[in-house]
Amino acid sequence: MFRRIVIVLTTLIFALGILFTSVFRTASVRYVFSETPNTSFQEGQGVVLGESVEIDYYFRYPGRILPDHPLWFLKALRDRVWLLLTTNPSRKAELKLLFADKRVVSAKILFERGKPELGVSTLTKAEKYLEEACNLERENREKGLDTSEFLSTLAKASLKHRQTIDEILKLAPEEAKPIVIRAQDYSKETYNKTRDALYEKDLPVPENPYDTD
């Protein structure tokens, strides 16, 4: 009896793994770019500051299993389950920011590895997680929760995301750059929203080195 249960559970887990792999691959937007990055920067693309700017925020190590790894779907599934099981709204916002941070770092690594298609997809997911973290912070604040510390962290994170995307722009093929630039809008909007919220609370606001905004 016990052996039969183990076999059934193993089969079920294997089947679910295949199902989620198929779902993730089907749901992912696929891009095709040339392999040679164009390092030129056209007028109107914004201000690129890159690594020369010091931003008081550091990303967590993304781990060895990145989106180009065969087991990535399990890691992505783990993240979704983790969020699903997290009932504390403040912790959930922190998790979304964590996933955003790890994915933007992963995106840069993928571009460095010459995989811009996967890099763009990962970058887009990273910035959507950043947006979700910002939206959840606002909801928590409106419910009366103290989000002051997280607001400051989120503001710094948004600047670090923007800096990292600047670095990705230097690695991206020419046809991928418009998508990368659009992804940067998430970090710009997140900074603006967190800045305004910090002003309302009369709290210090992390300086924005992108003075053209």
Whole-angstrom Cα distance, residue 147 to residue 196?
Answer: 13
* Cβ contacts of 122 within 8 Å, gap of 6 or more: 67, 103, 106, 107, 110
pLDDT at 67: 98
Extract the residue ranges of the chain whose pLDDT is less than 50: 6-12, 14-29, 39-48
pLDDT at 184: 96
pLDDT at 54: 84
pLDDT at 210: 86
Whole-angstrom Cα distance, residue 24 to residue 73?
Answer: 7
pTM, two decimal places: 0.79
pLDDT at 22: 42
How far from the centroid of its chain's Cα atoms is residue 145's Cα? 24
